[in-house]
A and B are shown apart, each in its own frame.
Chain A
């Protein structure tokens, strides 16, 4: 198995544990590592025409966003839009998802400042079903 998937999975659960405790500073380096791993894999797969790369691209944009690196998230979203125009790609569903992610980024609380466990500083809670 791709070791990046394994590592990203390990980071996912570590970040989740920190999210439940509302600890942003400790999660930040993990989010950044996760974003880079997902982005690398996403670009590799999408360049090879493998649609599974979208899973990593969505995850990378999410991690950049949660790390409050909006510029990185935007850069990757732009890259995503470029991948969508590849012939054969199912444009509509992917474009819709990229727009949803953009809206999600827009709605994120402003950049956290220090280790203050307030709402703006906490990791964003996912939709809990």
Chain B
């Protein structure tokens, strides 16, 4: 029987010390708790390889949390947390910087705080097409200024769907040289 990968939302702040992890945790809990009890069963996708099974552990959110924001906000932040868990688990990397560039938000990834060698595109959805979202985000990453010279940064695309069948992907994309 295939091994089930164990991921723990509560470990996000330790894995990504450059981010304000505790601020993001409750969002991820709310995003997950709309459809799942802990541990949530997820399919994990990496590139074109076969899907892996994962159990995502999380603490139940406060009863009032879900009413404090629109659902979209929880899904967006929840997707960042899931991306962070996958980056840490599969790549030993962390999200090191998030900055705005006009209407866009750029995510940088490294192996330690202060390391911005990779870029990340993140997306979350409740129940929309997972495959289409992955394609869209890959395209978006390929058009990023940081993916092109003079930066030519390699990057990652992470997409999470919270509704069953829940799934999360982490794809690698090589920079343009």
A residues bordering B, Cβ < 8 Å?
1-2, 5-6, 8-10, 12-13, 17, 20, 38, 51-52, 54-56, 58-59, 61-63, 65-66, 89-90, 93-94, 96-97, 100-101, 104-105, 124, 126-129
Contacts and interface: CB of A to CB of B under 8 A. Distances in A.
Contacts of A5: 97, 114
B100 A126 contact: yes
B98 A9 contact: yes
Given A20-B69, A51-B150, A13 B99 contact: no
A35 to B, nearest CB: 11
A24 B19 CA distance: 23
23 contacts: A2-B114, A5-B97, A6-B18, A8-B99, A9-B98, A51-B151, A52-B116, A55-B97, A56-B99, A59-B101, A61-B102, A65-B102, A89-B150, A96-B145, A100-B102, A101-B101, A104-B102, A105-B102, A124-B103, A126-B103, A126-B104, A126-B105, A129-B123
B129 interface: no
Nearest to A2: B114
Interface in B99-140: 99-106, 108, 113-114, 116, 121-123, 136-137, 140
Interface residues of B, number: 36
Nearest to B113: A1
A68 to B, nearest CB: 15
Given A6-B18, A90-B150, A129-B121, A12 B98 contact: yes
B73 A55 contact: no
A83 to B, nearest CB: 13
Given A38-B99, A51-B151, A101-B102, 10 more contacts: A1-B18, A1-B113, A6-B113, A8-B99, A9-B97, A56-B99, A58-B99, A93-B148, A93-B150, A100-B102
Contact of B23 (A17, A55, A96, A128): A17
Contact of B145 (A38, A56, A93, A105): A93
B18 to A, nearest CB: 6
Nearest to A8: B99
B99 A1 contact: no
